[in-house]
Chain A
Amino acid sequence: MNKKLLLSFSCLSILLAGCIVDVVEQNTERMAYGNGKNLSSVFFDASIVREAFSVQGGSTDSLIANGTFSLWAPGSGTASSIAQNVNLYWSIDTLHQANDTLQGKLFAYASGPGQELLSIDKMAVTVPRKIHLSVVAGSTDVSVHGMTGDTYFEGGSSNIDFTTAGRITMQTSSGKITGSTDLGGSAISTSGAINVTLTSKSFEGIFVKDSTGNVNLHIPEGVGVSFFLVAYGGYVNLSYDKVSQSGSGVQVNVNGGGKVVRVETGTGNITVSN
C-alpha cells in the first residue's frame, strides 16, 4: 500500500510540478524621444533590463529609446489595463549642471495598480555619437555601437560588445568584453575573456587586466609600441610587426617603442598580434 502511495505521489509530483497556474504574460512597447543638443553625457542603468540593452550612436542630436516591457497578470484583460500605465521618457538635468556638462537619463515608470508586475525586457536607445556614454549593468548583456565619444561600462556577469572611436573604460567580473576602439583605454575582468581590437594607429595606449580569462589584443601595424605583457600562471604570445616572442612575460619595444600596451593576467593566456 505504501509503495503504491509513494509511486502515485512521485508520478503526481512529476506531472504537476513546476508551473504557475493562470498567469499570462503580455508585452507592450513604448518609445521616447528627446533633444540631445548640448548634451555632454548620458547615463544608463541597464541592470533592471532583463534581457538585452543596446546603444547606437546617431549622427543627429536626437535621443530615441525603444523599450519592450513585459508583465504577468491574472488575465489578458487585466494585463491590457496595466500595460496602459507604462511611461518612458528622457530627462536632462539643466538645473544642477552647467550647459557644457548636461547629462541625460532615461526613465521608465508605471502608475496605478499593478506597477509591481511590470519589467523591462529589452531596451534599445540611440544617442548622439559624440557624447560620453556611461552604462552600468549587472547580468544584462550590453551592446554599444557607432559611438565616437568615450564609453564607460561596469558590469557583473554582463557581456559587452562595442565599437567606438573614443576611449573605453570597461570592467566586468565574469562577463566577456569584446569590441574595437580607436583610442584605447582600459578593460578589466576577473574571469571573462577580453577581445579588443585597436582600429587606429593613433591610439593613445591600452591597459588590459584579467585574472582567469584569456586576452586577445589586435593592434594596427606600423606603430611604435612598448609592450608590457605578463601572465603569472598563463602564457604570453606576441606576434606583432615581424616581432615574435613568447613565455610567461614579454617586455619589448617594437618600431622604437612609444605607445604603452600593458596586459596582465593570472592564469589566463595573452595573445597580441596585428
Chain B
Amino acid sequence: MKRYLFLLTILVLFPIKGIGQMAGNTSRTWANILSVDVNLAFGPNATATWDPSIGFRLQVHDHFRVGIGDVSYGSADLLSGTRHAIMGGPVVEYLAPVSSELSYSITAGVPLQNRWGASIPHTFGAAPYGSAALDYHFSQIFSLAGMLRVQYLATEAYLRSPRVLPSSSVIIAFGLGFHFYL
C-alpha cells in the first residue's frame, strides 16, 4: 500500500515536467545552486520529525541540474544511548521558470545514511524521494522555495531526528529551501 502511494505521488508530480517545458526560456543568470533546506513531518502523537540539509547542484543543461544533496547530520535518543547519523546522496533536478520571479522544479534523490552509536553496530540506510519545489526569486542570487517531498524508507530503518523510522515508512514532508545561485 505504501509503495503504491509513493509511486502514485511520483506519477502525479511528474506531469508538471511536461508543462514546465512549455514555459520555455531558462537562460537566466542563475546556474549552479547551493541549497539549504529543511523539511518537517509529524509522526504518531504529533511528534515532529525534521531533516535539515545542504546540497550543491551543477547546471548541466537548460532544464537540468545534478549534484549532491541531503547532506546532513541527525541524532536520536534510543534506550541504549544516542544514535548518530550522517546522510548525503545524488540528486537530479528538473527546473522550469514560470515568470521572472517564479520557477518550479522536480527533484529526485537517494540519500544514503550511515548510523552509529547507542551500542548498536554501524548500519546503512537509504530513502529515495521525489520532491517538487516552487521558488520565488528575490534576486539573481537568492530564492526562497516551498517544497513538498515524498520519501520512501527502502532499508530496515532510517534516522530522522529525533526518531528512527521503521522500514517501508512513507514520509510526506513540507519544507522550506534557501537557494543561493552561484
Chain A residues in the interface with B (C-beta under 8 A): 1-2, 5-6, 9-10, 12-14, 16-25, 47-50, 69, 72-74, 78, 86, 108-110, 113-120
Q: Which B156-182 residues have a C-beta within 8 angstroms of A? A: 156-157, 159, 162-174
CA distance A24 to B43 in the complex (A): 8
Contacts of B119 in A (CB 8 A): 109
The CA-CA distance from A74 to B98 in the complex, in Å, is 40
A selection of 13 A-B contacts at a CB cut-off of 8 Å is A6-B102, A6-B104, A9-B148, A13-B174, A14-B174, A18-B41, A20-B41, A69-B79, A74-B166, A114-B166, A116-B157, A117-B157, A119-B79
| B82 CB contacts on chain A under 8 angstroms | 47-48
Contact B171 A20 (CB under 8 A): yes
Closest Cβ of chain A to B162, distance in Å, is 8
Which B residues are CB-close (under 8 A) to A24?
44
Query: B59 at the A/B interface (Cβ < 8 Å)?
Result: no
Question: B residues within 8 A CB of A47?
Answer: 77, 82
Q: How far is the CA of A120 from the CA of B76 in the complex (A)?
A: 11
Interface pair A22/B44, CB less than 8 Å apart: no
CB atoms of A116 and B49 under 8 A apart:
no
Q: In this assembly, does B120 line the interface, its C-beta being within 8 Å of a C-beta of chain A?
A: yes
Contacts of B40 in A (CB 8 A): 18
Measured in the bound complex, the distance between the Cα atoms of B23 and A6 in whole Å is 13
The reply on B92 being an interface residue by CB < 8 A is no
Q: State in angstroms the CA–CA spacing of A6 and B148 once bound together.
A: 13
Instruction: Select which of B76, B146, B166, B170 is within 8 A of A78 by beta carbon.
Output: B166
* Complex interface: chain B residues within 8 A of A49 (CB): 77
List residues of chain B with CB within 8 A of the CB of A69. 79
**How many Å lie between the Cα of A213 and that of B43 in the bound state?**
35
Contact A6 B43 (CB under 8 A): no
> Is the CB–CB distance between A116 and B169 below 8 Å?
no
B1 to A, closest residue via Cβ: A22
A22 and B169 contact, CB distance less than 8 A:
yes
**Are A20 and B169 neighbours in the complex by a CB distance under 8 Å?**
yes
Q: Which of B107-162 contact A (CB under 8 A)?
A: 115, 118-120, 123, 132, 134, 146, 148, 156-157, 159, 162
Complex Cα distance A272/B115, Å?
50
Instruction: Check A116–B83 contact: CB distance below 8 A.
Output: yes
Besides A19-B43, A115-B120, 6 other CB < 8 A contacts? A2-B98, A10-B134, A17-B174, A18-B174, A23-B44, A114-B166
Most chain B beta-carbon contacts within 10 A, residue among A6, A19, A25, A49? A19
- Answer whether residue B30 sits at the interface, using C-beta atoms and an 8 A cutoff: no
A110 neighbours in B (Cβ, 8 Å): 79-80
* A108 contact set on B, CB distance < 8 A: 79-80
